[in-house]
Amino acid sequence: MSTPSPGLIHRWDHNFSILSIVTFPKKKLLFAGTQDSKILVFNLPTYNLVSVLTLGDIENTHTRSSVLCLERSSDEKYLFSGGADSLVRIWSIYDVDSLNSSIQVEEVATVYSLTDIGDIFSLRYLDTLDTLVFGCQNASLLFLDNIFDRILEAHGSHEKNIDKLPHRRYDKFFDSLGPSGRTGSPAPRLAETSSNAIHKYASKEVQMHRILEVPSENIVNYAHNGFIYSICKLCLKCSTLLEDGKKHEHVHSHDYSKNSTAVSECIISGGGDGISKMWFLSKNEKGAISINSVAAKLDNEDTVISQAVEFPFLYCGLTDGVVKIWDLSTKQLVSTLHTPQKYDIISISVYMDHIFAINESGTTLFYENEVVHWKPNQGKMLSSDIFTRHDAPTERQISFLTGANDGSLTLWDLSEVMHSSDWGKSEEFVQALKKQDIDSAEDKSFLNSEEMLETLRDLISFQSVSQNPDTAQQLASRRCASHLQKLFVKFGATKATLLPVKDGKNPIAFALFKGKNLDKKRILWYGHYDVVSGNQHRWLTDPFLLTCDNGFMKARGVSDNKGPLVAALYSVANLVQRDQLLNDVVFLVEGSEEIGSPGLAQACMENRDLIGPQIDWIFLSNSTWVDQENPCLNYGLRGVINAQITVWGEQPDRHSGIDGGLRKEPAADLIKLISKLQDDDGKILIPGFYEPLKDLSEVDFKRLNKVVEFANMGKEITTEDLVTNWTKPSLSVTTMNISGPGNITVIPQSATIGVSIRLVPEQEVGKIKDSLKKYITQCFDRFSSGNHLEISIVNEAEAWLGDPTNHAYEVLKEALTFKWGKEPLLVREGGSIPCIRALERLLAAPAVQIPCGQSTDNAHLDNENLRIENWTYMTEILAQVFNRL
């Protein structure tokens, strides 16, 4: 279904270009900066022009300039403007009189620099730090801290130092002590108090206008090798998450052990050098502000003209219609988008995954896999903004503003453009997140069962598919990882961060919960947040919307593996809440398990010190019971080698009536080749395949016999079946593909067959893989067909065999028996989990597998489900076990 164009709500016209836009949604105001030194103020409910702010002296045209950037304070009391006159102006804004269509605006301060900075292209105000940051034509980044304290300090002084402003200077490079007679930060006051005081004075028409100089130590010269076109800021909570990861990277200049009350905010500047740079500005307990060394440099390889942030993503608008999307948590490039016309992306706005890229050809909307372009009836578009309007308590409208070089300013309704079912849920989700304090470990409400269910519902909603993901699923996976990081912090983790994985794969969510024992163990919980794809039409409900009925939860990932992950998280959170966690618990949650865990081992090696020098136990829950009645403990999994074997010829697809029988055909060669892998009785013919195998021990045989005796698996299942399926290797032909249309009369140019080989612990993956390749090649060479052979290994995993008699299994066995009233069955499985043996080897610790759901969970299949009783019992069981190890 095609996406319609937005509906035009209103259009205003001016005689000069609209260069910048900022909205005040609470006050229902719109401010537009123009090329002719004006700021137009509109009342959104009435669409009236209620005020025109003129910059500089009306009589002197040399004091006036284009308004290139606008910014507001979060409380909407102040407007900040910057432009071609090298000045930043601070305006105090008062409530609109809707009846009389009037508004009071007072300019309370002008900010200047003695350095010739040229045009000011970008401007941001950091509310928490009471600090202005702006990027300039001379490639410098400037900040002025404690702004309202400075204004109050200057209040009462008759000297304005008006001659120091750029247009009045005789020498732009003379030294100055500044308006107050000294440089540096004034004695700190509470920013809110200073802000309110100035707002009060100005409202009484007291002359408040002051001239403020940026101290030389607040100028970062050559912050970029080019103009600084854009600056965007992160919310304080997101800055905190990135700051935590940055401290781990050892690039922060502050000693937090001595300054625990420090507050930091993160900004990202984009410049003509193609770099997006992350900076942290910090205020310590004494009120001093400093800008820290660059946290990261993201190389876009082309000029960064515009930027937008929707955490954890940074969206960069570049030249030639290119938009690049970065994951700020891992500093990795996620996706590159292209507008239909290759014009520079002058402005970019993002709302709930909807990306609006503005260039002179119009607006391009990117959403999931859709690309929609529309050309409004405007000139060359120069500016944009997107915001939510609440014209009535029950009404919400997503609106979009665009300004152009023909002086037009247009307001659009995005109700038909936005995917309402998605952004509606997302908006509610984001609002809920905003209400949460990520440092609210003292808030106990999140530990009840209803909140546990809501936590899982939120986690399920992320469509974190890792198998052949599209752009939307790639973004969803990284949002899921970022959401997990926030949950870890909320639930009391001492440290929570995201670990990057090579080749741009989904990041690993890491968290540490510290136990109170002196002689404590360190337990690692391994899980994964990625899920498999599937045919949604075969589901009875929306697979990414958690549904609960008849005692079961149903959704994609509820059993594999988000449900067990949430159970483990809450078991630890309950202990932390009661100050009863005795042992350290580390969470390592990856996003690529369903594609073989690529990069996991390397990430673990690179972060070994963070994970812990000594891991005692590795826990996971990535399987189910063998029936619906008996709890289980799993201690064995088969390994796997998944391979694709392709035979292809140099001739194109041909007609069997014209070319049939003239030469040997790829599909026929491939069928003969696959027949060499097994004999007529199913014995695998790969040389050396069976040599390492050992007979099953009597103890293991008795365990499997007990499973058949007690488990309700169906009368047709025998102990010998379990021995074969769980403890013997196998080879299966799984997929078959050919080139061409698939017509029965067409000889395909190429044919491919997928082969899945399951291995047991005695077999070495490397040796079997080499033997397979060598054997297949030798067989093919004997054909002398003239066709070509390709063998590719899709993924591989070692088999795993645990020790069901060790201490962890004994503790689990007791806890399960107590909770379920019956002893758990000790089982093995025919499937594979690629990471278990790798983790055991890297961390030098034994793994323990505790299944959560039942045999009817349908993991990887349609209508995946998990019984709520199993899920809640798992939480209680793990809370006991984590403390008893």
Whole-angstrom CA distances from 337 to 324, 330, 357, 464 are 6, 20, 10, 20
Q: Of residues 119, 593, 594, 796, which has the active-site annotation?
A: 593
Distance between CA 240 and CA 263 in Å, rounded?
9
Statement: residue 609 has pLDDT above 50: yes
Nearest CA to 362 out of 377, 353, 349 is that of 377
Starting from the edge strand earliest in sequence, which strands make up the sheet with 332-338, in order? 306-310, 313-317, 322-327, 332-338
More confident residue, 146 or 153: 146
**Where residue 250 falls among pLDDT bands split at 50, 70, 90?**
very low
In the block, which residue shows the tokens 């078991």?
571
pLDDT of residue 440: 37
Residue 593 among the catalytic residues: yes
**pLDDT for position 660:** 86
Q: How would residue 98 be classed by pLDDT, with cut points 50, 70 and 90?
A: low
Three-class secondary structure of residue 379 per DSSP: coil
| Mean pLDDT of the 750-778 span | 97
Residue 127 has pLDDT above 80, yes or no: yes
The amino acid at 67: V
Q: How many CB atoms lie within 10 A of CB 779?
A: 17
Put the strands of the sheet holding 18-24 in their side by side order.
Answer: 18-24, 29-34, 38-43, 48-54
The vertex-433 CA angle with 425 and 238, nearest 5°, equals 120
Coil, strand, or helix at residue 90?
strand
- At residue 410, the pLDDT reads 92
In DSSP notation, 486-554 reads HHHHHTT-SEEEEE--GGGPPPEEEEEE--S-SS--EEEEEEE--B----GGG-SS-TTS-EEETTEEE
User: What are 447-504's pLDDT values in tens digits?
Assistant: 567 889 999 999 999 999 999 888 889 999 999 999 999 999 999 999 999 999 998 8
What average pLDDT does range 403-417 have in this prediction? 88
pLDDT at 170: 37
For the stretch 539-581, pLDDT in tens is 999 999 999 999 999 999 999 999 999 999 999 999 999 999 9
Task: State residue 179's pLDDT score.
Answer: 31
Please check whether residue 245 is in contact with residue 497, taking contact to mean a CB–CB distance below 8 angstroms: yes
* H or E stretch at 103: none
Maximum Cα–Cα distance for the chain, whole Å?
102
Query: What's the confidence (pLDDT) of residue 435?
Result: 41
Distance CA(196)–CA(203), nearest Å, equals 10
State how far the Cα of 183 lies from the Cα of 198, in Å rounded to an integer: 22
The confidence score (pLDDT) of residue 447 equals 55
Give the pLDDT confidence score for residue 419 in this predicted structure: 58
pLDDT of residue 396: 67
Query: How much is the pLDDT for 816?
Result: 97
> Tokens representing 125?
């105000």
- Which residue type occupies 206? V
Q: What pLDDT score was predicted for residue 17?
A: 94
Strand, coil or helix: what is 122?
strand
Q: What is the enclosing helix (H) or strand (E) of 207? A: none
Q: What integer best gives the mean pLDDT of the chain? A: 86
Distance CA 145, CA 178 (A): 14
Q: Which residue has the higher pLDDT, 236 or 140?
A: 140
- Return the closest-CA partner of residue 498 out of 506, 508, 483: 508
Confidence of residue 374 (pLDDT cuts 50, 70, 90): confident
Q: Vertex 748, ends 742 and 751: CA angle to 5°?
A: 95
Flag whether pLDDT at 429 surpasses 50.
Answer: no
- Round to whole Å and give the CA distance between 524 and 512: 9
- 623/870 Cα distance (integer angstroms): 13
- Listing DSSP states for 858-881 in one string gives -TTSTT-EEEHHHHHHHHHHHHHH
Q: Are 319 and 344 in contact (CB under 8 A)?
A: yes
pLDDT of residue 206: 52
pLDDT classification of 296: cutoffs 50, 70, 90: confident
The rounded distance, in Å, linking the Cα atoms of 332 and 502 is 9
Average pLDDT over residues 287-304: 86
Q: How many CA atoms lie within 13 A of 599 on its CB side?
A: 16
In this prediction the pTM is 0.81
pLDDT tens-digit readout, 682-734: 999 999 999 999 999 999 999 999 999 999 987 788 999 999 999 999 999 99
Q: Answer yes or no: is pLDDT of 60 > 60.
A: no
The pLDDT tens digits for 832-853 are 998 999 999 999 999 999 999 9
Share of the chain above pLDDT 90, in %: 68
Domains annotated for the chain, with CATH where assigned, are 55-222 (no CATH), 444-623+833-884 (3.40.630.10), 639-693+729-797 (3.30.70.360)
Residue range 187-203, pLDDT digits in tens? 444 445 567 766 666 55
CA–CA separation, 533 vs 375, rounded Å?
A: 36
pLDDT at 424 over 90: no
Whether residue 166 is predicted with pLDDT greater than 70 in this model: the reply is no
Among candidate residues 153, 530, 616, 829, the one labeled active-site is: 530
Q: Which residues contact 176 (CB under 8 A, 6 or more apart)?
A: 114, 164, 213
Which contacts (CB < 8 Å, 24+ apart) does range 696-699 have? 696/723, 696/727
- Tokens 């970062």 sit at which residue? 220
Which residues are CB-neighbours of 56 under 8 A, at least 6 positions away? 37, 63, 64, 65, 85, 167
Q: Would you give the distance in Å from CA 703 to the centre of its chain?
A: 44
> What is the pairing mode between strands 522-528 and 584-590?
parallel
Please say whether the beta carbons of 580 and 542 come within 8 A.
no
More confident residue, 829 or 439: 829
Distance of CA 679 to the CA centre of its chain: 49
* Nearest CA among 813, 772, 568 for reference residue 677: 772
- Least Cα distance to 799 among 779, 773, 828, 822 occurs for 828
Ranges 286-290, 315-319, 764-768: which has the least confidence: 286-290
Contact indicator for 346, 357 with CB cutoff of 8 Å: no
Burial of 775 (0-12, 13-18, 19+ CB in 10 A): middle
Q: Is 597 left (phi over 0), alpha (psi -120 to 50) or beta?
A: left
